[in-house]
Amino acid sequence: MFVEKLNQILPRILRAIRIAARLGFRISKETAHSVKNLSYSILRLDKGRLLMEMNYMLAYGSAEASLRLLWKFGLLELLLPIQAAYFVSHGFRRRDKRTNMLLVIIITHLLYAYSVLDYIVKRSLLSNLDKLLSPDKPCHSSLWVAILAFHKALSEQPRDPLVVAAFSLAIHNGGDMLEAVNIARRITKLHDVCFNELSETQDLNPRALKDEVVNLATSLKRALNHMTDEQIVSVAMAGYPQAPYSDLVFIPWGLSLRVSRVFSCVTSGAERGFVPKQGSKIDYESLAVGNLPEVRHIFARVVFDTIYPLILNRDNFET
């Protein structure tokens, strides 16, 4: 009877997090206390159910808020231990309001001669994903898994912003590295200098830039393996002795393979017959079922917009 009742309560914990994140509700002290007390019992849930609940949180336009609440209430270290280890290793506290590449939206004023000239709208990877999605316009789970794996790869080895830009362009065009490198080398926009995941800009020649992009794709594949293999997760977590322990992996092998296809074109070369997504309009039906060009398009868009945030003149904010 107790186990049966517990199995009914546990999904409600994750559902409460999801609803609070999606609607901006505050979680009461009583509910928060229950969540913390029952947090470790979450591991009793079937992995398929966990994946479903996590997809509801991350694929429907409230990923940033969901991840923050999972961290706040001690659930992230159980569900996504590698991402929790990242927060711990960077001294990110439960109620921390600082920014990082996964969380937080900040608007910074650029001042010149004591007047505001421009506004830089800075967003995280997840908030950039959220702005493209909604409860009736979700994405396939392969997209948010790819974004988390990408962030892990960058957090382990920060990269030149132009390398990240060329990487995202190569993802979008199906592995046409020559085109991606040529476009990236013409970028004149300012990149976000606040992210620890980005290194200093270097003057890379086309060959060196291409090699760095391929290296990033290889490290992303390794990061994905870390997230989807129980033994590798355990080994990876050993590198963060101050982080809470969990070896839970709820991402199935089939989903992992779909994610790897998102960026495999970077290492294997231009794909024959691949037609890149044209225009900025999103085909949400295709995105929801994991259509590869659509997923690649949104992945590249989210990454590029995070590294090179939109700069708006003050006139854009006047009504």
Q: What is the three-state SS of 5-37?
A: HHHHHHHHHHHHHHHHHHHCCCCCHHHHHHHHH
Residue 184 lies in a domain: yes
| Mean pLDDT within 65-72 | 91
What pLDDT sits at residue 243? 54
Most confident of 70-79, 198-207, 231-240, 243-252: 198-207
The answer to whether residue 189 sits within a structural domain is: yes
Give the Cα separation of 176 and 68 in Å (integer).
36
d(CA 166, CA 157): 16
144: in domain: yes
**Predicted pLDDT of residue 160:** 95
In a domain, residue 220? The reply is yes
The per-residue pLDDT for range 177-187, each reduced to its tens digit, is: 999 999 999 99
Q: How many CB atoms lie within 10 A of CB 83?
A: 20
The average pLDDT across 264-283 equals 84
Q: What is the DSSP letter of 122?
A: E
Question: Please, what is the average pLDDT of the chain?
Answer: 83
Rounded mean pLDDT, 196-212: 93
Q: Is residue 240 part of a domain?
A: yes
Rounded to an integer, the average pLDDT of 288-306 is: 95
**Quick check: 179 and 266 in contact, CB under 8 A?**
no
Write down the pLDDT at residue 240: 57
Of 234 and 102, the one with more pLDDT: 102
- For 133, other C-beta atoms within 10 Å of its C-beta total 23
Q: Are strands 106-112 and 310-313 parallel, antiparallel or unpaired?
A: unpaired
Whole-angstrom distance, CA of residue 296 vs CA of residue 311:
24
Tell me the residue range of the domain where 279 lies.
137-310
The three-state secondary structure class of 112 is: strand
Provide the token pair at 276.
Answer: 């890149």
Tens digit of each residue's pLDDT (9 = 90 or more) over 105-154: 444 444 444 444 444 455 799 999 999 999 999 999 999 999 999 999 99
Distance between CA 123 and CA 100 in Å, rounded? 9
What percent of the chain lies above the pLDDT cut of 70?
83
Is residue 231 in a domain?
yes
The whole-number average pLDDT for the span 236-259 is: 75
> Does 316 have pLDDT greater than 50?
no
Model pLDDT, residue 163: 97
pLDDT > 90: what percent of the chain? 47
The answer to whether position 77 is within a domain reads no
Q: Say if residue 212's pLDDT is above 90.
A: yes
Q: In total, how many domains does the chain have? A: 1
- Lowest average pLDDT, out of 172-176, 231-235, 289-293, goes to 231-235
113 located within any domain:
no
CA 6/CA 12 separation, integer angstroms? 10
